[in-house]
Structure 1
Amino acid sequence: MEQEVFWMLSVCIAIACYTDWRNSIIPNRLTFAGAVLGFSYHGITGGLGGLVFASAGFAAGFLLLLALYAVRGIGAGDVKMFGAIGAITGVSFVLQCLMYSIFFGALIGAGILLSRQQFIRRAGQLAFGLFTFLWFRDMGIWKAGKQEYLRFPFMYAVLPGCIIAVWLMPAG
């Protein structure tokens, strides 16, 4: 990863983590600035190919997270932030970062559930919901009534996800 790309990513992630921790929001001006930085940098350094690189990265990050947003798994700021991460780093990195972030998110969620002693009940609800969807093709359980959601800032999982993705990224 180029040094400039690393620093753009690092600053965006650091600010997003802070604001998500402090206010439970990732500001639009941060996600917009990150995307503009990614498009500008790659457009200037790579021309049309660089813009295609940034566009593909933005689309990959944004669209995949949009699916999680649709099922209320994450907030809109996370979706836009992954678009910016993709514009800065490209498709390959944003996919790796997303994979590791989801893994860390699952660990954090399981840790919270275990600390609240809700893990067994939630795991049963998840298993029942998956069964009803797979067997009956019924998504009603996912839409049913007022449910309590386990909430924590997703950037808590994105930070270690990005660090691991950078660390494991092949040199070159």
Structure 2
Amino acid sequence: MVALYVLVLVVLICAITDLQKQKIYNFITFPAIIAGLGLGLAFNGVQGLVNSLVGMLIGFTIFLMMHILGQMGAGDVKLMAAVGALGGFPFILYALFLSVVCGGIISLLVAIWQGRLLKSFSNIFRALFSTVMPGVTRQPLSEKNSTQIPYACAVCLGSIGAVLESVFRIFT
């Protein structure tokens, strides 16, 4: 339970810094990863440590793939690794799913607000199919050709949703 309190604090701080400065700081994410691993070990022994490691690796790997595709920053990858370390497995699966859903909703709303809906769908298509379809080229994302959002906000909302599910079983 302590790890979940730390997790909520970490995602809230990162969402605020991402909104204000478009930055997720390593001095927040790295200690959070270490704290998650340490708390897992302290409260549940070796099994807790393994659980935290698996959660960290799943969160890191999934968001790293999205980072490689140019869909998010490296800070988001480290933040999701911290969420996985603090929440463990299977918590990270809920957090990932809800974060991606929240990110999609936020992106859709921002794209509509900025009048970039069709351009955003084009970017998504190109990112998904550029590696498997000849003739489809991926455009590097920049402010002029994409809708960028502070993804830590989506991770924050998704992670808090996963905490609520974990504690209160609101979705099941």
Sort the Cα spacing of 1:31 and 1:125 in 2 relative to 1 into closer, same or farther, 3 A.
closer
Provide the TM-score with structure 1 as the length reference.
0.85
Unaligned runs of 5+ in 2: none
Equivalences, count: 168
Task: Answer yes or no: is the 8 Å Cα contact 2:8–2:156 preserved in 1.
Answer: no
1:141 to 125, 128, 137: 137
Q: How far is 1:122 from its partner?
A: 3.5
Sort the Cα spacing of 1:139 and 1:90 in 2 relative to 1 into closer, same or farther, 3 A.
farther
Task: Answer yes or no: is the 8 Å Cα contact 2:126–2:139 preserved in 1.
Answer: no
Give the ranges of 4+ consecutive aligned residues of structure 1 lying more than 6 Å apart after TM superposition.
144-147
Identity %: 25
Amino acid at match of 1:119: L
CA distance in 2, matches of 1:82, 1:140: 30
Q: More helix per residue: 1 or 2?
A: 1
Sort the Cα spacing of 1:143 and 1:165 in 2 relative to 1 into closer, same or farther, 3 A.
same
Amino acid at match of 1:42: G
Q: How far is 1:128 from its partner?
A: 7.0
Unaligned runs of 5+ in 1: none
Verify: 1:163 aligned to 2:160, yes or no: yes
Q: Per-residue displacement from partner, 1:42-81 (whole Å, max 9, x unpaired)? A: 1122221121111111101111110000011111011011
Provide the TM-score with structure 2 as the length reference.
0.85
CA distance in 2, matches of 1:170, 1:139: 48
Q: How far is 1:166 from its partner?
A: 1.9
